[in-house]
Amino acid sequence: MAGVQVSNVSRSFGAHKALDDVSIDFADGGFYALLGPSGSGKTTLLRQIAGFDFPDSGRIAIGGESVERVPVEKRRIGMVFQNYALFPNMSVADNVAFGLSVRGEAKAVIAAEVQRALDLVQLGKLGSRRPHQLSGGQRQRVALARAIVTKPRVLLLDEPLGALDKALRVDMQIELKRIQREIGITTIFVTHDQEEALTMSDRIGILRDGRLVQEGPPEEIYDSPKSEFAATFLGDANILRGDTTGTGIRLPDGTAIAAGAGATLAAGAKASCAVRPERIRIATNAGSADQTNGNMLRGQVSKRIFAGNNSTYFVERDGQTLKVIVQNTGIERLAEGQDVMLSWSPESTVLIAAN
C-alpha cells in the first residue's frame, strides 16, 4: 500500500492539452474521486497514474518511488475498467487468478488467494462460471477481485459503476467502500457523477479542461467552492454576479449581498456569490421573511417542481432565475406567479473571485 504523488503533470495530444500542470497528493489509504465533465482530463490523469500513457512533463510517484516512465505492467497497480474487461475465454476463478498466474505463483497459493478474493466480494461460489453467465453487478465484483488479489499498491477505478442501473449502483457504492476500508488500499476513482463522488470519497479533485480546479474533502468543496465551476459542478448553486465590496457584492441594481465565506477580495473588482438552493428561505412577503437572515431578494415564482419530499421553486428576479429547494413540511405551498421574498444568511453565501 502506498500514497500517490502527482506533481506538475502535463500531457498533450497534438494541440490539445489533456492535462495542464496538475498536482495532487493522494495520501496512503485514502479514497479519492477525480470528478469532471467528459474531456476534463480525469481519465487521462488516471491512465498516467496507471502507466498506460506517460506524461510529457512532471513527476508521478507511488510510495515515494518515481514511476512516470515505468510501464503499467511493472507498476503493481490494480485497475477496474468501465466495461469490466473480464477475459471472456476464462472462468471467473481464472480471471481472478490471472495476475498471480502471470507472476508465476504456485498453484496452491493461487487457489487460496483467489478464493479469499472471491469471498471478499461475496462471490465465493461462482468461481467456475464464465463471465457471460454473470449479472452486471457480479461482473463488477469479479473485476474488483481480480484487481485486488495481486495486492497492488494502489487501486484505480475508471467509472466502474457507470454501466449499472441506479439501485445496483447504490449497493455497489456501499460495497466498494466496505472493501476499500477492509483492505485499506489507496483508491483513486474517476467519475462524472457528483453524487457518487460526494457519498464515497474522502477527498475530491475537480478537473476542468485538463486543470485541477479544486481539491479537498467533499464538505469543504461543497461549502466553500473556489470557483463558479466548482460551485455548479459539485451540487447545485445560484450564482449572483456584481462588484465586490470586500465582504460581499453589490448587484447591478444596487442590492448588497453579504458573504460570510469564501475569498477575501479587494473592493471594486468583479466577483460573484454562490448560494446553495436548500439554504434559501422563501416567504410570501417581506413581513413574513426571516429578517435575521441578512440577505434578501424580491422575486416572482415562475415554476414549481414537486419531488415528494421537497419542492424546487424557480424564482425570477432582475432577469435571472434562482433555484430554491424547500423541504415539504406540508405547511405552505406557493403558486406559480406569486411574488415572494427570498432570504438567506451571509454564512451560506460564498464569495468567489470572477474568473
Partner 1 sequence: MATTRILEWLGRVYVWLLLAFLYLPIIIMALMSFNVSPFYQLPFEWTTEWYASLWQNDQLISATWNSIKIAVITTVICTVLGSAASLALYRYEFRGKKFLQALLFPPIAIPWLITGTAMLIFFFGVGIGRGLFAILLGHVALALPYVIVVVSARLQTFAPELEEAARSLGATQWQVTSRVTLPWIMPGVIAGGLFAFAVSFDQFVVSYFLSTPGQTTLPVEIYAAIRKGFTPEINAVSTIIIVVSMALMLLTARFFKFGGEK
Q: Which residues of this chain interact with partner 1, rule CB under 8 A?
A: 50, 52, 71-74, 76-79, 81-83, 85-89, 98-99, 102-103, 130, 132, 146-147, 150, 156
Nearer to partner 1, 150 or 186 (CB): 150
Rg (CA), the chain: 24
**Rounded to the nearest whole angstrom, what is the least distance from the CB of residue 321 to partner 1 in the complex?**
42
Rounded least distance, CB 2 to partner 1, Å: 16
Give the DSSP H or E segment for 10: strand 4-13
In the complex, the smallest distance separating the C-beta of residue 103 from partner 1, rounded to whole angstroms, is 6
Q: How far is the CB of 73 from partner 1 (least distance, A)?
A: 5
Choice between 130 and 279, CB closer to partner 1 = 130
Closest to partner 1 by CB, 11 or 75: 75
> Measured from the CB of residue 173, what is the shortest distance to partner 1 in angstroms?
22
How many Å apart are CA 188 and CA 11, to the nearest integer?
19
Closest distance of CB 160 from partner 1, Å: 12
Q: Which is nearer to partner 1, 103 or 166 (CB)?
A: 103
Nearer to partner 1, 75 or 208 (CB): 75
- Element spanning 34, H or E: strand 31-35
Count of Cβ atoms closer than 10 Å to residue 93 Cβ: 21
- Report the distance separating Cα 119 and Cα 123, nearest Å: 6
Smallest gap from residue 145 Cβ to partner 1 (A): 12
Alpha carbon distance 312, 284 (integer Å): 16
Long-range contact list for 312-315, CB < 8 A, 24+ apart?
312/277, 313/282, 313/340, 315/282, 315/340, 315/342
- What is the arrangement of strands in the sheet containing 339-344, beginning at the earlier edge strand? 281-283, 339-344, 295-306, 310-317, 320-327
* Cα–Cα dist 335/314, whole Å: 11
Phi-psi map region of 210: left, alpha, beta (phi>0 left; psi -120 to 50 alpha): left
DSSP state of 221: H
Identify the three-state secondary structure at position 225.
Answer: coil
Which residue's CB is nearer to partner 1, number 2 or number 334?
A: 2
Nearer to partner 1, 81 or 314 (CB): 81
